[in-house]
Amino acid sequence: MKKIAAISGFSLLVLVMVLVSFNYIGPHLGWHVDELGSGSMVPCLKTGSLVVTRPVDPGEIEVGDIITFNAVAGAHTVIHRVIEIRTQSQTSFITKGDANLVADSSPVKAENVLGTICLHIPGWGSVVDFLDTTPGFIFCLVVPGLIILLVFARSIWKGAAPKSA
């Protein structure tokens, strides 16, 4: 039973470290991990959900996809559903929040699209916000790493200890 608990704990620590690492490395690869801050996508995506956006070529986006985009260059991001694709002089998308009665007032230019939603976990958005802080980084990456090192050091110490006859 102790062995199962130890393996489970170790696996959980490694999983947390992988998730934290992805949260810091992902944006450099075009992936985004965010908290959904508004209720415009209810009931599909609830406020406070963790949302993972993967980069896509704008040509791959279809009507019905949920995209993450910059509303105004460099400003806050928005997560809405594509309801129409326009391909006149340049590709743009007409979007609408599922809970909104009308479509967004401005089309989204293809260059403002960050990607499509590939994963969402209700209620986990606050975890992402915590991970983006220095204490969150220390708590979720450094502390588990130290625990793993201590477990290995203990194992080595026990293995090196002389056996009594």
pLDDT in tens, 87-137: 888 999 999 999 999 999 999 999 999 999 998 988 888 877 787 788 887
Torsion angle (degrees, nearest 10) of CA 120, 126, 127, 129: 110
Q: Which helix (H) or strand (E) holds 53?
A: strand 50-54
Q: DSSP letter for 77, please.
A: E
CATH of domain 31-123: 2.10.109.10
Other beta carbons within 10 angstroms of residue 37's beta carbon come to 16
Residue with tokens 């704990």: 9
Other beta carbons within 10 angstroms of residue 33's beta carbon come to 21
Q: Where are the domains of the chain?
A: 1-30+124-154, 31-123
For the chain, how many residues are written? 165
- Report pLDDT digits (tens) over 12-60: 777 767 777 777 788 888 898 888 888 999 999 999 898 889 999 999 9
Q: Say which range, 44-48, 72-76, 81-85, 109-113, has the weakest mean pLDDT.
A: 72-76
CA distance 39 to 41: 6
